Structure 1
Amino acid sequence: MTSSDPALQDTLHGSLHQERGHHDRCRAALAAMVDGAQEHVVTGVDVSASGADAEVLGYRLRSQAKELRELPEGPLFFGRLDFGGGAGDHSGQRYHIGRLRISEHPAVPPLVVDWRAPVARAFYQASAHEPQGVAVRRRFGWAPGSRGDSADLTGLEDEHLGRGESRASGIVAREIERPRVGPMRDIAATIQPEQDDLVRGDLPVSVCVQGAPGTGKTAVGLHRAAYLLYTHPQRIRRGGLLILGPNRTFLSYIAEVLPALGETGVRQSTLHEEIARHPRITRARGAAGPGADDERTAVIKHDGRMAEVLRRALYARVSEGEREGEGGSVGYVGALVVPDGTYRWRVSGGELARILRGVRAEEPPYGVGRERVRSRVVRCVQAQAELRAGPQSNAWVQKISRSRAVGAYVDAVWPRVRAEEVVAELLTDGAVLAAAADGLLDADEQRALLWAKPPRSWKSARWSAADLVLLDEVGGLVEHPEGYGHLVVDEAQDLSPMECRAIARRAAFGSLTVLGDLAQATTPWAARSWGTVLRHLGKPDAAVVPLTIGFRVPEAVVTLANRLLERLDVDVPTGRSLRGDGELRIREAAAGGLLDAVVGATRDALACEGSVGVVAADADVDRVRAALDAAGIVAAGPEELGARLSVVPASLVKGLEYDHVVAVEPAAIAEAEQRGLHRLYVVLTRAVSRLDVVHGRPLPF
């Protein structure tokens, strides 16, 4: 609603005045909701209910009060829907749309409708062609960085869909193009129809989003998580929801999105942190040891064949019973004798062998199998006792189960194990590895796996990052890890088959939102098709949905990235941008003057608004930082998300965004690793306004 017409200007000012008044009313109602939630906590302490019920009720009330208290400050609504006649239950109704529901009383219509509510979907999906009963869609413009003061409401736009009016939103464009400083923001006000379809996917449905740079795939995944928490609160509370990111820097960058949408307490973690929580992995908790694997060894450890190698190594410990050895060792070649007071019960060798074969055929988790052997042996003894003396008590059954004879037998044929013991023996003992890897790994691969300096025992082993994934595989064979109702897996293009298996164990009874871009796959074990990734994740039937329209990366940057995309061995659609603004400059440095050119490009970038990221090959970061320091330019590291200027290693820039990126010596970035061209593709697509490419050597594109 913008015009130079004085009458329309008066209407605009009147509408702004009314909407600011409504926002003040919403602010007062929200404050009352916060106070009311705290009062409910106090009242709930004295609720008349059983102890367990009161505890559950108290926990929920305290959680609700805590969530309301911790809501970030900001505008309480960003849109409005005015429905016309003939819109069913919504005919003639008006709804403000915001990040959470605000009401003055549960029995009256809300002042603000949550963006995830069914009626709010029309805000994202209605169009002049299909208005969905909407007469007018209104968008509100707020001052950048507003903390929710009503005076910060600076503009509004009305789109008369009922009259067939269609217009590009300047408010949406300005919000998308707003400078990026600090952590990632939510996109609830700017979700596009194709993004909304993904956000509102049903809980049981797993989906894979192949998103070109700037298409908002990470934001889509986070908003889908918020939508599922709103739509299926009980089911999510039972199963839990997990956000998996590639590293802590990335998780810090996205950490404020869900709280801004009213969802606190969602677990956000890396895969290695999840592995460290496995109850069967005790000694390997924490980061990898100092002796990291070389690339070839790490690639073998991440290979899917290792799953079968580890399974063989674990179950090689299960035997039919002790065999008579050279020293004439006694064992369970014959029967098992179980003392019971003055009586002795006998289980034949044939029956014991039948029990073992039956349990192994069922393929339970190793720890479950061990207890099944025990319980079935006890059942044989119980059957004999009941034939002789009638039904036996539970106490008698427990006594037999804990008897030394039964325990010794189970320990002999199905011994207790730790994941660390199995993996350490495999990586230390060439004979054990050869037996487990027979027909799967060749001799050179086996030699690459063996530790050059074996530890004295598994207790003193220093585990590499790849070893943690092996430990999780064995831990999962012994005892299934904690599962989740839904997992959002970001940067999934970099997952190895073994990492995918670790995630699949945690999603065996839940669903996945898989986010990534095969063109940005930089690990040496990364797959080249989503079908391979989804198969290892246990969701082979998940739909792969491409997002190709970029809303943040300018057209000039996308065009340059698409030139490099042609050289990458991946089958993904090229991206395109809706932003014609932006700048791209390619600066060739004079011989020996690369660092001077970087300093100059950085000064130019700092003269513009927004954040600046200077990205270089990891080996060049110290030189670049020293040159900036010498020029009096202070730069932070990638972990300081609110910094105006950051120097970032190319290996850590994935998932981050800067208004202005200075890409230093692309040839060095491309040569630094096996998938260096993919890494360079990532670097070039981190800019959301301006990109400077500074080079002294020929460009790889």
Structure 2
Amino acid sequence: MTTSPDPALDRAPVLDLDLELRRERAHHDECRAALARMAEDVADQVVIGEDVAASGADAEALGHHLRSRAKEFGEQPPGPLFFGRLDREDGQTHHIGRRRIAEHPAAPPLVVDWRAPVSRAYYQAGAHDPQGVVRRRRFGWAPYSAGDTADLTGLEDERLAAGEEAASAIVAGEIERPRVGPMRDIAATIQPEQDDLVRSGPATSLCVQGAPGTGKTAVGLHRAAYLLYTHPQRVRRSGLLVLGPNRTFLSYISEVLPALGESGIRQSTLDEEIARHEVRSFDGEAAARVKHDVRMAEVLRRALHARVALPEGELALADGPLRLRLPASLLAEIVAAVRAEAPPYATGRDRVRARVVRELQLRAERRAGPLGNAWVRRVERARPVSAFVDACWPRTTPEEVLAAVLTEPGDPRFAEVGDPLLTEPGGHLLTAEEREAIRWAKPPRSFRSAKWSAADLVLLDELAGLIERPRGYGHVVVDEAQDLSPMQCRAIARRADFGALTVLGDLAQGTTPWAARDWREQLAHLGKPDAELVPLTTGYRVPAAIVDLANRLLPELGTDVPAGVSLRRDGEVTVRRCEDVVDGVVRAVRAALAREGSVGVIAAEEHVGPLTAALDAMGGLGASGAPGAFGAFGAFGQGDGERERLTVLPATAAKGLEYDHVVVAEPAAIVAAEPRGLHRLYVVLTRAVSRLDVVHAAPLPACLATAQIA
């Protein structure tokens, strides 16, 4: 609702807190009733729309739109309807919430969407620049509130026009609230530097290098919601894709966009996007490294185009009394010209056919006069024309080409195209050892029966993109982008050819063998070399004590990233050396569960089983190990049971997740488990948002050896 502020409130921050709370609760009740009417109106529109007289296509489009809106209202998660308020110099008052609420479409809003232009001052205004705001009010709601009006328990006022500006206890409490359940939105707590990124335009590609706890994932998701709000037709028409590293992570973030009023957004992993086949084979490390190397893009391109051959003879076509001939030299010129244009392979095949038919048409018309489209269509299907096209530019599939690449040259089971790993000029693209690493030890009978590995699917996607341009998206949000290989980046680039990217990651958290060491190089592979690179270093999630411990690892990681800093001065770090790590972890977990919040036990893969068994036997407590809402290593929930609060998981599954209390078991084993083990340990140490216990028997890495011992 747009009203004039109470003049009495201009004389003091809050003259009567109880009175103001009653007024705001009454406004919330009014908003709740209006939202219910909005939902009823949308449901009625679906019924009415089904009876509207319209053409089939129009009726279907209208029905889809109305049903989508009804579904959106029906799936709206519960929660408070506003979290802030602006009182402006012009006398207007705006309540800020996660979606617009009004009595009817033409009425002034009771709640303004957080993405609306007028809401920006809520995040950006300050005493140094009030932006026309007299007072900013923040509302405190009971933790995990489902939106009951009685849950509005407090409020804070900042009189910006009077020069007041102070750290918000409500914002701090929301940020530091125990992490139980999936990731929450941050609409109520967005900071100015985050807001700048969220409100970037749809054509802008961004790369956010974010230290742990800086909210880079939340920024990416809120930017997606902002683009859907400000450019709905443009973004929805071309599609918006959110790519996460795994299903566990996607489950963790799954409620953020619906909470912001956006549903139906595709959230996927890259493996799911390129899944032409089930993964039924596994590569060794050497083979995987080669297959993910950017040189494979050129290998595949040459393997594909090695199938194109220049014609050896003329093309003759009998058309009634006409005898039409095209000499081999002209046909060779056509094929060479199309190859020089470098179109997608299937497009090149169509161009060759079209140009051959055009040459035949010109010759026929010189002798018989103008010919219509029916003649052109008949000649396109003529056997001599099809035979020529098949001979010089044959049909093929990604599987057929890749099978030839992975098989010894000359193997009779596959098309003979020479050695696709050999390039002219320039010799071999790959070394003899690399060629041997990716060859099939036992080739299948045909490419149709091949068992493909995860890396093979990336190569098949590259070939599919070379043959036909894939469907693209208007915007793609890519999280944990530092872990992508060059070939995986190319798969994403093909899907964002005509759209923008929001790239999120932290070079210090790169754990794959091909993890990026430089964002500019990674952005070039993603097809956006000129994307704006923005560092986020101020943390709001991870306390300073934990950040300082993790920062000790940065000089050893070989990445040039700024160290993170935290605004949170709370938090606890305890380093325990003990003879029996399992017993030490059990004692640490027992102490952690005596306090509020979620608990994550993170260890090397080999230690997960023994730790889970020990915790299961711990006085009947149990550790969540069955598949749950967020993956096979644990479940999250808001129940009172200790089992719901405890998760045991391997270090390889911890990326992107967070727990109030983390118990790290034997850091030396985590480091030794993989080549980039120090990077993995950096990830593990920064999963805690309140307290961190490090339990070890083996010596700590040298950079952590001076950490305080409990």
TM class by shorter chain equals over 0.9
Indicate whether 1:310 and 2:289 are aligned: no
- The residue aligned with 1:376 is 355
Q: How does 1:211-222 map to 2 (within 5 A)?
A: 211-222=210-221
Task: Confirm or deny that 1:555 pairs with 2:534.
Answer: no
Equivalent pair of 1:221/1:513 in contact (CA under 8 Å): yes
> Superposed, which structure 2 residues align to 1:533-572 within 5 Å?
533-572=522-561
Q: Where do 1:605-624 residues align within 5 Å? A: 605-624=592-611
SS in structure 1 of the partner of residue 434 of structure 2: helix
1:52, distance to aligned residue in structure 2 (A): 2.2
The corresponding residue for 1:364 is 343
- In the alignment, what sits opposite 1:667? 668
Moved more, 112-121 or 31-40: 31-40
Letter in 2 for 1:285: H
Alignment of 1:76 with 2:81, yes or no, is yes
Q: Cα offset for 1:666?
A: 0.3
Distance 1:596 1:99 in 2: 46
Q: 2:636 aligns with which of 613, 638, 641?
A: 641
**1:641 Cα offset (Å):** 3.2
Q: Which amino acid aligns with 1:31?
A: A
Between 1:253-262 and 1:447-456, the stretch displaced more is 447-456
Q: Is the 8 A contact 2:13 2:159 kept in 1?
A: no
Looking at structure 2, the residues matched to 623 and 426 of structure 1 have their Cα atoms a distance apart, in angstroms, of: 44
| Deviations 1:334-393, CA, capped at 9 Å, x for gaps | 210123235332111111101101100110000000011111111111111212222222
Contact 1:212 1:517 in 2 (8 A): yes
1:111-126 matches, within 5 Å, as 111-126=110-125
Identity %: 67
- Deviation, 1:459, is 1.2
Can you list the C-alpha shifts for 1:299-340, whole angstroms capped at 9, x where unaligned? 11100011000000000000003xxxxxxxxxxx22101232
Contact 2:14 2:157 in 1 (8 A): no
The residue number in structure 1 matching 2:412 is none
**In the superposition, relative to structure 1, how do residues 434 and 52 fare at CA in structure 2: closer, same or farther (>3 Å)?**
closer
State the Cα deviation string for residues 451-495 of structure 1 (Å, max 9, x = none).
Answer: 112111111111111111111110100001110000000000001
Once the 2 structures are TM-superposed, how far is the Cα of residue 9 of structure 1 from its aligned partner?
8.1
Task: Evaluate the alpha carbon distance shift between residue 485 and residue 434 of structure 1 in structure 2; reply closer, same or farther with a 3 A threshold.
Answer: closer
Aligned partner of 1:328 in structure 2 is none
CA RMSD of aligned residues (A): 1.4
Determine the structure 1 residue equivalent to 2:208.
Answer: 209
Matches within 5 A, 1:69-148: 69-84=74-89, 91-148=90-147
Q: How big is the shift at 1:444?
A: 0.8
Which letter maps to 2:72? E
CA contact (8 A) 2:294 2:487 kept: yes
C-alpha distance in structure 2 between counterparts of 1:107 and 1:479, whole Å? 47
* Matched residue, 1:443: 432
Whole-angstrom distance in 2 between the partners of 1:429 and 1:63: 53
Q: Partner amino acid for 2:582?
A: L
Q: 2 CA distance for matches of 1:63 and 1:649?
A: 40
- AA matched with 1:116: R
Could you list the per-position Cα deviations for residues 85-109 of structure 1 after superposition, in whole angstroms to 9, with x for gaps in the alignment?
A: xxxxxx1100000000000022221
Aligned to 1:524: 513
State whether residues 81 and 94 of structure 1, in contact with CA within 8 Å, keep that contact through their aligned partners in structure 2. yes
Aligned to 1:325: none
Aligned to 2:172: 173
How many equivalent pairs are there? 667
For the residues of structure 2 that align with 1:434 and 1:518, how far apart are their CA atoms?
Answer: 32
Matched to 1:292, the amino acid is F
- Select the residue among 270, 284, 298 that pairs with 2:288: 298
Q: d(CA) in 2 for partners of 1:641 and 1:457?
A: 46
Given that 1:206 and 1:512 are in contact with CA atoms closer than 8 Å, whether structure 2 keeps it comes out as: yes
Q: CA deviation at 1:665?
A: 0.4
Contact 1:427 1:433 survives alignment (8 Å): no
- Tell me the amino acid that sits aligned with residue 404 of structure 2: E
Offset, 1:232: 0.4
CA distance in structure 1 between the partners assigned to 2:166 and 2:180 by the alignment: 29
Unaligned stretches of 5+ in structure 1? Answer: 1-6, 85-90, 277-283, 322-332
- Is the CA contact (8 Å cut-off) linking 1:310 and 1:436 kept in structure 2? no
Is the counterpart of residue 474 in structure 1 residue 473 in structure 2?
Answer: no
Q: Amino acid of the residue matched to residue 239 of structure 1? A: S
Work out the CA distance in 2 between the residues paired with 1:188 and 1:312.
Answer: 49
Q: What is residue 285 of structure 1 aligned with on the other side?
A: 277
User: Residue 345 of structure 1 aligns to a residue in which SS?
Assistant: strand
Tell me if the contact between 2:13 and 2:158 (Cα under 8 Å) persists in the aligned partners: no
CA shift digits 1:595-640 (9 cap, x unpaired): 1111111111111111111000112211211222232331124622
Confirm or deny that 1:601 pairs with 2:577: no
Partner of 1:97, secondary structure, is strand
**Residue among 486, 490, 503 paired with 1:514:** 503
Partner amino acid, structure 2, of 1:410? V
Q: Superposition pairs for residues 150-299 of structure 1, below 5 Å?
A: 150-276=149-275, 284-286=276-278, 288-289=279-280, 291-299=281-289
Query: In structure 2, how many angstroms separate the alpha carbons of the residues matched to 1:46 and 1:384?
Result: 58
User: Letter of the aligned partner of 1:485 in structure 2?
Assistant: G
| Partner secondary structure for residue 647 of structure 1 | strand
Q: What is the alpha-carbon distance in structure 2 between the residues aligned to residue 541 and residue 434 of structure 1?
A: 32
Q: Tell me if structure 1 keeps the 8 A contact 2:314–2:327.
A: yes
Indicate conservation of the 8 Å contact 2:38/2:104, yes or no: no
Shift of 1:48: 4.1
Question: Partners of 2:74 and 2:617 in 1: how far apart?
Answer: 46
CA distance in 1, matches of 2:14, 2:240: 48
Contact 2:322 2:364 in 1 (8 A): no
* Aligned mate of 2:454, from 465, 469, 494: 465
Shift of 1:266: 0.3
Matched residue, 1:432: 419
Match of 1:50 in 2: 55
| TM-score (norm. length: structure 2) | 0.92
